[in-house]
Structure 1
Amino acid sequence: MAKYSNPFRALKNRDYFLFWLPQSISLIGTRIDTTLRGWVAVNLFEENKAAGFIGLIALLKGLPTVILSPACGVIIDWFGPKNVLLLTQIVDALNATLMAYLVYRNILNAVQLLVLSVVMGISQAFYLPSRNSFVGSIVPRNLLSNALALHAMIFNLARMIGPSIAGFVVEYKGLEFGFVVNALTFLPLIVSLMFIRVQKPVQQHVRRDFFADLKAGIRYVASSRVLLITFLSSTIYAVFGMPYSMLMQAFAKGAVRTGLTGYGLIMGSMGLGALVGAMLAGSLEADTVVKFKEEHFILWIGLSTLVSFLYPPAAYVMSFVNGAAQTIFFNTANTRTQYLSPSHMRGRTMSIYALINTGGSPVGTFLFGLLANAIGIRNTYGVLAFAMIAYFLTRKTVKSLQLDLESLSHVR
């Protein structure tokens, strides 16, 4: 029988609570910012060019993480995750403040938006690993998984309500006020970080053979058929599944024929689905999750995209299905990767997994944004849908791509 514990037990840790609460506010601000930047891009260009520019923004925000990840880890070890995390929050707050000023003065142009997106991407490259490392430094090992689950919960809540808040703020106060709100949401976390005690000392940087360790990680992944196929599914998900939400500003305006408020409702529906998916996946034991056939969730992502393509107003409902399927897929692939990785190899296997998701999503969004410029955003969603459905059918028919997941019960 599964053993259940208090799902909020990590919040009893003083330092984690001081991080979690203001981080919740900051994540909502980040979702507001993401919504508004995409909407600014939509209104800077003609309808047939907006999707391509949104894709370019996503690419510029994602590439720094891919390029800088190894260097980021070294810098975090040198200066400590708390200090690096604090710096990223200050940079992001200044970025949002500058966006508010440029929009308020009505002088924002495409080049400025791209430059600010690159700056945000560089900050994000440091933010993601420093945040994960920081959480590990302030909670004991027995609370780490619960702390990460609580962070996933607030991320999905922010994903659910952030776009809706953005829509209402812009409707009643204007675009520039939305960016001001985002800038202000960083302040509680910046202040709170100054009062958090880092319990674990920062380790001194040790010289190691980076390339030898990297090759060992690649060899380990290449030797595991289950990991290879799981990573293949993750690539399909990142390239074909993620653009559903990343290009939704253009789809909402060009296919659904709605405004920012309608877009916020669509993304709110997706966030609610993601939250439900996270709760369902989180209620199950890891032994069960790792044996899910992840291609089934790619099918559901593809089918929800297909229905949205055939009848765009259905996106209000299909986004719920899409969000739930994406979250369960992500949880399945993530859990399986960690489940199959020995402790001495886990960092490298997870870095390869993260590279697929971080690199695949902006590349896919960029390419399909360009395709949308050529054939229209609605038709592009049709291409995405058929690609994911085709992958599912291929997995079902090609024997070499089928997995005996029941054998995973004996891994540990």
Structure 2
Amino acid sequence: MFWEPLRARFTREALTRSFVALRIRDYRRWSIAQLLSGAGAAASQIAIAWLVIELGGDGIALGAVTACMMLPTLLLGPFIGILVDRHTRRAVLLVTAVAQMLIAGVLAALTFGGALELWMLMALSLAHGVAFAADNPARQLLVMDIVGRERMTSAVSMNEVIINGARVIGPAIAGVLLVVSDAGWCFVVNVLMFVPSIFVLLSLRPVAPAGRTEPADSTAAAARPIGAWRFAMHTPAIRATLLLAVCASACYNIAVVVPLIVADVFHADGGTYGALAVAFGLGALPGAFFSATGPTMPRSAEVRAMAVAMAAAVLLSAGAPTLPLLFVGLAAVGMVVMWFIARANAFVMLSTPTAIRGRVMGIWAMALPGSTVVTGLLIGGLADLTDPRIAYGAVGLVTALVVTLSWRGLRSAR
């Protein structure tokens, strides 16, 4: 019974459905550009986390840097779509790409000049978070503009593969650079990796926004997020999945606790942290692939199963007594967390009425990754008070508790 749905994912029909978006030339070009820019961003994140340690920061500092990066997404989640709707997606993405390039350039200059301080890292992370808050929804809508609605499911699945491919390439680059040179080169790589995205965006035909909010509708528009919140909180399956998304965000955010495990528990260097991040990304790749070959409409049973596996994998990683076992554990975490995220994301999207789908997905963005503003600080603080492995284990225990409490809500979905 277990193998039958898994085997169904590898039929010719399932594989064709997964990769159909790649038939479109502009989408192929955009995907390659996104793989490169994502790899640069991942390398930059590895460097930032390690610089926090080198600057004398602790778990709270790591959590604070993550919080600064995600705070705009948490605060602006349901409202940022207004900006995206009023301008072409290409224009928004050009602005956010240039902004992120400039931030990476400033980080490189400060690092090479030896002038970087912890407060500067937090301020620049906050600036990056503002750009990311607008970049994320605009990127998703641009893909829909390129591939059309009939290929959107394939494009979303391919996006997960691209994200995790970047999580392999970027940390691998960062791990090498942290060993042989300076963290500043990771930021230089990030700057260079944005260049292909800008070239592709400039070559795309501008696509007008799907619709503009008229002045007469401004009052109704301001009230719309409230309706989306009411729907999300009063639909048991959606509410349960959003709670689990917060747990998944904490499981996925290895930038807070893993550097502490590397430095304080195993007394290793930045190269080891980079290699562990690569293992996480390598594990996430098959998770993204399994989600891509699944049925168009995810089942709540699959969401539950992945949430249970997610809690178990985190607990095993937290208790890993040796570095090789930690590599294996984090690869397992990457696989099941990515599988859960992809299927839960689609489950919420397809279970939501079309009229409020965008606003509910804004709430999803607040849960994942926006909730890392809070969970990163809590995990970092617990790591400082106790032990980083205990802190990561607590994430697994809380996830298991939320799964238990949410079981009935998920079963109510049809």
User: Common fold, TM-score beyond 0.5?
Assistant: yes
Q: Identify the residue that residue 262 of structure 1 maps to in structure 2.
A: 272
Residue 59 of structure 2 contacts residue 256 of structure 2 at CA under 8 Å; is this kept in 1? no
- Are 1:242 and 1:365, in contact at CA under 8 Å, matched by a contact in 2? no
Change (3 A) 1:118 1:13: same
State the one-letter code of the partner of 1:10: A
The answer on 1:221 being equivalent to 2:220 is no
After TM superposition, give the deviation of residue 149 of structure 1 in Å. 1.9
For residues 136 and 199 of structure 1, what CA distance do their matches in structure 2 show? 11
Matches within 5 A, 1:322-337: 322-337=333-348
Measured in 2, the distance between the counterparts of 1:364 and 1:305 equals 15
Out of 262, 265, 277, the residue aligned to residue 287 of structure 2 is: 277
Structure 2 CA distance for aligned equivalents of residues 144 and 63 of structure 1: 29
User: 1:381 corresponds to which residue?
Assistant: 392
Q: In the alignment, which residue of structure 2 is the partner of 1:60? A: 68
Structure 1 residue ranges without an equivalent (≥5): none
What are the residue-to-residue correspondences of 1:204-353 with 2, within 5 Å?
Answer: 204-207=212-215, 208=217, 209-238=220-249, 240-287=250-297, 289-310=298-319, 311-313=321-323, 314-353=325-364
Residues 70-125 of structure 1, C-alpha deviation per residue, up to 9 Å, x if partnerless? 55322222221111100111111111111111111111011111111111011111
Aligned partner of 1:12 among 23, 28, 38: 23
Distance in 2, Cα, partners of 1:395 & 1:216? 23
Distance 1:344 1:16, change over 3 A: same
Distance 1:388 1:201, change over 3 A: closer
Aligned length: 398
Q: Distance in 2 between matches of 1:236 and 1:381?
A: 12
Q: For residues 209 and 338 of structure 2, what CA distance do their matches in structure 1 show?
A: 34
Aligned with 1:44 (options 55, 64, 79): 55
- Distance in 2 (alpha carbons) for counterparts of 1:26 and 1:146: 21
Partner of residue 40, structure 2 = 29
Residues 176-195 of structure 1 aligned to structure 2 (within 5 Å):
176-195=184-203
Greater shift, 159-168 or 54-63, is seen at: 159-168
- The 8 Å contact of residues 300 and 411 in structure 2, kept in 1 or not, is answered as no
For 1:267-287, what per-residue CA distance to the aligned partner results, in whole angstroms no more than 9, with x for missing partners? 111111111011112212134
Relative distance call for 1:336 and 1:253 in structure 2 (3 A) is same
Deviation per CA, 1:348-377, whole angstroms, max 9, x where unpaired? 222222221133223101111122122232
2: CA distance, partners of 1:55 / 1:138: 36
Task: Please give the root-mean-square deviation of Cα atoms over the aligned residues, in Å.
Answer: 2.2
State which drifts further: 195-204 or 74-83.
195-204
The gaps in structure 2 that reach 5 residues or longer are 1-7
The aligned counterpart of 2:90 is 82
**How much does 1:394 deviate?**
4.7
Secondary structure of the corresponding residue to residue 359 of structure 1 = coil
Kept after mapping to 1: 8 A contact 2:243/2:402: no
Distance of 2:112 and 2:255 partners within structure 1? 27
1:138 to 143, 146, 152: 146
Instruction: Write the distance in 2 (CA, Å) between the matches of 1:372 and 1:100.
Output: 29
Distance 1:391 1:205 in 2: 38
Partner of 1:103: 111
Specify whether residues 281 and 59 from structure 1 end up closer, same or farther in structure 2 by C-alpha distance, changes over 3 A only. Answer: same
The residue identity in structure 1 corresponding to 2:266 is V
TM-score (norm 1): 0.90
Which of 312-321 and 211-220 deviates more?
A: 211-220
Q: Aligned partner of 1:274: which letter? A: A
Q: Determine the structure 1 residue equivalent to 2:5.
A: none
Amino acid at match of 2:62: I
Taking the aligned partners of 1:83 and 1:356, their CA distance within structure 2 comes to 27
Q: 2:82 and 2:360 mapped to 1: Cα distance?
A: 18
Does the 8 A contact of 1:290 with 1:339 survive in 2?
no
Alignment TM-score, normalising by the size of structure 2: 0.89
Query: Partners in 2 of 1:342 and 1:74 — Cα distance?
Result: 19
Amino acid at match of 2:182: G
Higher deviation after alignment, 310-319 or 103-112 = 310-319
How far apart, CA to CA, are the structure 1 residues paired with 2:78 and 2:392? 34
How far off is 1:234 after superposition?
2.1
* Bigger mean CA deviation after superposition, 1-10 or 82-91: 1-10
**Cα 1:309–1:174, aligned 2, differ >3 Å: closer, same or farther?**
same
Shift of 1:162: 1.3
1:293: how far off? 4.5
Deviates more, 1:329-338 or 1:92-101: 329-338
Q: Which amino acid aligns with 2:390?
A: N
- Alignment partner for residue 166 of structure 1, among 174, 198, 207? 174
Change (3 A) 1:262 1:216: same
User: Matched residues in 2 for 1:197 and 1:380: separation?
Assistant: 48
Residues 100-154 of structure 1 deviation map (CA, whole Å, 9 limit, x = unaligned): 1111111101111111111101111111011112222222222222222222111
CA separation of 1:228 and 1:392: change in aligned 2, threshold 3 A: closer
Rounded to whole Å, the distance in 2 between the matches of 1:131 and 1:140 is 14
1:227 Cα shift? 1.6
Q: Once structures 1 and 2 are overlaid, which stretch shifts more, 153-162 or 71-80? A: 71-80
> Is the 2:17–2:154 Cα contact (8 Å) retained in structure 1?
no
Percentage of pairs with the same residue = 24
Cα deviation, residue 404, structure 1: 4.4
Shift of 1:201: 5.4
Contact 2:284 2:337 in 1 (8 A): yes
1:151 correspondence with 2:159: yes
Summarize the Cα distance change of 1:199–1:285 in structure 2 as closer, same or farther, 3 Å threshold. Answer: same
Deviations 1:308-354 (Å, cap 9, x if unpaired)?
Answer: 33225221100111011101211231122122112222122222222
